[in-house]
Amino acid sequence: MRTRPQMERWRGEAVESARLAIDALRTQPARSTLAIVGIVIGIVTVVLVASVLAGLRNSVADLFRELGTDNVFVFHLSGDPYAAPTESEARRRPLDPALAGPIARLSDAIEDVGVQMLVPTVVNGRALTARAGTNESDTLLVEGASPNFFGIVGAEFAAGRPFTDLEDRAGARVCVIGANLATALFGEGARGRTVGRTLTLAGDPYYIVGELAPRRGGFFGENRQDNVLSIPVGTVRRRFPQADATVLYARAEPGRRAEARADLEAVLRQLRRLETGEANDFHLSTSEQIIASFDELSAAIGLATLALAAVSLFIGGIGIANVMIIGVTERTREIGVRLAIGARRREVLRQFLLEAVLLSLIGGVVGLAIATTVSLLIQLAAPGFSAGAPAWVVVAGLLSATVTGVVAGYLPARRAASLDPVEALRYE
């Protein structure tokens, strides 16, 4: 256990090392600044990328969990439904919305099946545009939805209701509007009060029967579903015959999602007449699978980031080592005096190590400050997106800066501690 005099001596050495480090920055600002630039870049890279990835991961998790943790999604392609298909999947047949009924009947593990039909953003050579009075939006996404779709995905209504079976069968021109689209067409003050109003889509009037509440999750605070204009599947099939991309949402009985997935695959293979041994021409997924895939991508990006940060920290460590070597050379007589009047070699070693660590920590703190500022700017630019640095990232950043300082300063500090006092006093 350390005695009080030892603690006092350690405190004095720490204060002295801090003073010397600050003096080095003040007397040689260019050299010292260049020495810690690598540390700053490394810390900014790690903290900022980790913060953004953590925020994205949470948003993506919220986005897909909101679509239902008991749901199994099926699409004829394996990628994003709005993305272009790969060459190997381009010939796959789209799913038929009529499959929803047989799937629900043939599996006792599946409670219900909802249908989502994606209408192309360009129809007959013209971009789909929604208008309400003098306002219009061409960034909307038009999707067909079965009457049970909103219940299956757990969509919350700010006002109004979903479609009825009668409206779906009749191909009625009714719609459910997303939160962002409601604001774009009717203004901020109208949010939650658009039910009963009319908008125009592709030249046809549509009566708004429901308005959805803002959805959780998304990418950088933006949830694509908030820009969706939903119309009945029956209306899509009459008005937009070119819309053939269909996503089925199968809701499993509680606790039977794995069984529901197996049943869904078997039923689809049977209904799509696939031979034994023939590969599936459709893709099944769940929210956990999608989140796990994103985690794998995040891990790969994280490893690449760590490699870049390691290079930056290595360069910063070389810079700090160079500053310390020059410092030892310039203060050789000072070191000789200290050794001559009784300073122990381990005290000299400890002092120079502390000085190197403090230089490195200055770079770490500056890097954290820059990364935090950039994170705040990202949150201002994308409200709703959380880009705050997790506590473990901050701790890891400061710890890596400390380790870099110790490694970079050890050899110069050892050189200082091993000087011959007599030779050091003669040094000019």
DSSP codes of every residue in 211-276: EEPPPS--BTTB-GGGGEEEEEHHHHHHH-TT--EEEEEEEEPTT-HHHHHHHHHHHHHHHTTPPT
What mean pLDDT value characterizes the chain?
A: 80
**Which of residues 268 and 320 earns the better pLDDT score?**
268
Could you give the CA distance from residue 376 to residue 177 in angstroms, rounded to a whole number? 31
Stretch 94-110: mean pLDDT, rounded? 89
Is 53 found in the same domain as 20? yes
Highest mean pLDDT pick, 31-40, 191-200, 410-419: 191-200
Q: Is the pLDDT of residue 349 over 80?
A: no
Highest mean pLDDT pick, 67-81, 158-172, 310-324: 158-172
Task: Please give the biggest Cα pair distance in the chain.
Answer: 102
Is 174 found in the same domain as 142? yes
What pLDDT sits at residue 60? 66
What pLDDT sits at residue 304? 74
Residue 46 lies in a domain: yes
What pLDDT sits at residue 386? 64
**Which of residues 121 and 298 earns the better pLDDT score?**
121
Closest CA to 371 of 103, 16, 81, 45: 45
Is 369 found in the same domain as 325? yes
Residue 242 lies in a domain: yes
Q: What Å distances lie between residue 95 and 228, 249, 269, CA to CA? A: 21, 12, 12
Contact by Cβ (8 Å): 141, 121: yes
What pLDDT sits at residue 339? 65
Is 209 found in the same domain as 134? yes
Is 196 found in the same domain as 120? yes
Total count of domains within the chain: 2
Stretch 45-73: mean pLDDT, rounded? 72
Is 224 found in the same domain as 75? yes
Is 112 found in the same domain as 37? no
Contact by Cβ (8 Å): 251, 111: yes
Is 183 found in the same domain as 49? no
Is 324 found in the same domain as 199? no
Residue 4 lies in a domain: no
Is 160 found in the same domain as 263? yes
Q: Which residue shows structure tokens 């219009």?
A: 136
Q: Tell me the torsion sign for CA atoms 78, 105, 288, 55.
A: positive
Of 77-91, 227-241, 306-320, minimum mean pLDDT range = 306-320
Where is the domain boundary, 254, 286, 318?
A: 286
Does the reported pTM lie above 0.75? Answer: no
What pLDDT sits at residue 13? 66
Residue 1 lies in a domain: no
Contact by Cβ (8 Å): 292, 379: no
Burial label, 14 (beta-carbon count in 10 A; 0-12, 13-18, 19+): middle
Could you give the CA distance from residue 294 to residue 319 in angstroms, rounded to a whole number? 37
Give 68's pLDDT tier (boundaries 50, 70, 90): low
Where is the domain boundary, 230, 256, 286?
A: 286
Give 254's pLDDT tier (boundaries 50, 70, 90): confident
Is 142 found in the same domain as 267? yes
Closest CA to 151 of 71, 231, 244: 71
Residue 17 lies in a domain: yes
Residue 404 lies in a domain: yes
Closest CA to 36 of 415, 422, 356: 356
Stretch 19-42: mean pLDDT, rounded? 72
Bridge-based pairing of strands 141-145 and 228-232 is parallel
Is 141 found in the same domain as 44? no
Give 233's pLDDT tier (boundaries 50, 70, 90): very high
Look up residue 324 and give its two tokens.
């310390």
What is the per-residue pLDDT across 301-348, written as a single tens digit (0 to 9) for each? 777 777 777 777 777 778 778 777 776 776 666 666 666 766 667 767
Q: Is the pLDDT of residue 202 over 80?
A: yes
Could you give the CA distance from residue 272 to residue 94 in angstroms, rounded to a whole number? 10
What pLDDT sits at residue 314? 79
What pLDDT sits at residue 160? 92
Give 166's pLDDT tier (boundaries 50, 70, 90): very high
C-alpha 202, offset from chain centre: 35
Domain range for 79 is 70-286
What pLDDT sits at residue 325? 76
Q: Would you state the torsion angle of the CA atoms of residues 76, 79, 84, 85, taken in this order, to the nearest 10 degrees?
A: -50
Q: Would you state the torsion angle of the CA atoms of residues 382, 387, 388, 394, taken in this order, to the nearest 10 degrees?
A: -150
What are the DSSP E strand ranges found in 56-155? 71-75, 110-118, 122-123, 126-127, 130-132, 135-137, 141-145
Give 175's pLDDT tier (boundaries 50, 70, 90): very high
Of 194-198, 325-329, 360-364, minimum mean pLDDT range = 325-329
Where is the domain boundary, 228, 260, 286?
A: 286
Could you give the CA distance from residue 407 to residue 310 in angstroms, rounded to a whole number? 13
Helix (H) or strand (E) holding 203, with range, is: none
Q: Is the pLDDT of residue 176 over 80?
A: yes
Give 148's pLDDT tier (boundaries 50, 70, 90): very high
Of 18-32, 109-123, 126-140, 279-293, minimum mean pLDDT range = 18-32
**Which of residues 390 and 403 earns the better pLDDT score?**
403
Of 22-26, 113-117, 143-147, 242-246, minimum mean pLDDT range = 22-26
Highest mean pLDDT pick, 3-12, 119-128, 311-320: 119-128
